[in-house]
Chains A and B, each alone.
Chain A
Amino acid sequence: MYAFNYSRAETGRKAVNLISKNEDAKFLAGGQTLLPTMKQRLASPGALIDLSGAADLKGIEMKGRNLVIGAMTRHFDVATSELVKEKIPALADLAGMIGDPAVRNRGTMGGSVANNDPAADYPSACLALNATIITNKRKIPADEFFTGLFETALEEGELITKISFPVPNKAAYEKFRNPASRYAIVGVFVAKKGKDVRVAVTGAGSNGVFRPSNFEAALTAKFHVKSLEGVSAKAEGLNSDIHADAAYRAHLIGVMARRAVAKANAK
């Protein structure tokens, strides 16, 4: 790891102030991706602004009909929160599948969403649940937030403060994971709210998380596993690597989507 200057922000506002004075700085959330990346010297920020002491960025609450989760809320806290389990059990379920227990004790929702790893879990939840990503500057709909591989709509120095999830009628997440890295080879999040059905796929798209429109159309007609008979994903535009080729990933999208719908309907 290359040397950097370290500072600690006690609030989100102080963090934003600190970063505005230093172009070469990055926010440090849970560090479960950023620190390994820095160790490999794939990233070398000149300064880190540690958010771990910023209590105002943590917490889980209902605001109107939305479940609002602070950006620095750890995966463990989302996975075990009674409020999350009651309102959006699929989200608690997803958080409990990230990494391993020790990683979940450090990793944060905001960090995962800001990083937008193409195989991360949370981006699929944000997209399928039609979440709003709230920053120090503005509110960004999930549909406009995830713009490509490790790319988001966030501007330089912009900080995610919380994420607001409309509570769905039904939702579920199914993940076929790489047993070593525990990232999704394919993960599918399905959500039904009123007549709206949204499906988001992570791990597969060569441009990151995406919504397969043919799956959504079939499920909007009827939210049932049988609606997905004959509905498949195209291998074109999907990732191929040593773990799974594009055709296999396309197949897995169908399998995970059917399992997720069955799971959502079983609740």
Chain B
Amino acid sequence: MPKVSMTVNGKAVSGNVDSRTLLVQFLRETLRLTGTHVGCDTSQCGCCVVHVNGSAIKSCTTLALSHEGSTVTTIEGLAQDGKLHPMQEAFRENHGLQCGFCTPGMIMTAVDIVHRKGNKLDEQTIRHELEGNICRCTGYHNIVKAVAAGAEAMAK
């Protein structure tokens, strides 16, 4: 089986994978980083969003082998020294979740939105930018509030 190497959450990792292994399977099954979820497996729901070389992508719709040498950040890589990332903290503060299944993808997408759009986000921008992330509990109201608060907190 071919070998793939990449940097995940700051650590150099590698593994032998079947060529059809998706990035999300490599993260969850080989590296046991199960924070990245698989919701739909059809690129609709966004539960599997991770950052690759700084861009948010759906890890269920890309091959692990395509990311040889890449730098990947998953939800596990956001908290530093036992302290939640400001976006995670904002989701907690604002109760931006119900069942929590979509939350890792929501947070990874939210951080990406801030990187691209800055720290002052209006509701319309947030709702538009979150269109690739689906919450089956339909708890969008608090998610949107959390993203706005998290974006501001990231400026501090």
Contact = CB atoms under 8 A, between A and B. Distances in A.
A197 B53 CA distance: 41
A180 B116 CA distance: 24
B62 A102 contact: no
Contact of B19 (A3, A99, A180): A3
B2 interface: yes
Contacts of A35: 22, 61-63
Contacts of A8: 65-66, 68
Interface in A70-89: 76
Given A28-B66, A31-B66, A35-B61, A99 B20 contact: no
A102 B109 contact: yes
Nearest to A40: B42
Interface stretch (B43-51, B78-86, B89-97, B138-146): B43-51
A102 B132 contact: yes
A207 to B, nearest CB: 26
Interface in B31-58: 41-44, 46, 49, 55-58
A1 interface: yes
A28 B63 CA distance: 10
A32 B66 contact: no
Interface residues of B, number: 29
Contacts of B18: 3
Interface residues of A, number: 28
A6 interface: yes
Nearest to B46: A102
Contacts of A39: 41-42
A182 interface: yes
A2 B113 CA distance: 35
A52 B66 CA distance: 7
B68 A182 contact: no
A244 interface: no
A103 B66 contact: no
Contact of B55 (A32, A50, A105): A105
B60 to A, nearest CB: 9
A247 B22 CA distance: 41
B68 A106 contact: no
A181 B43 CA distance: 10
Contacts of A6: 2, 19, 63, 65
A28 B62 CA distance: 10
Interface in A1-29: 1-6, 8, 28
B131 A182 contact: yes
Nearest to A47: B19
Given A50-B66, A100-B132, A101-B112, A4 B19 contact: yes
The interface centre, meaning the residue of B58, B61, B109, B113 with most chain A CB atoms within 10 A of its CB, is B61
Which 4 A-B residue pairings sit nearest by Cβ, starting from the closest?
A: A100-B132, A6-B19, A105-B55, A1-B20
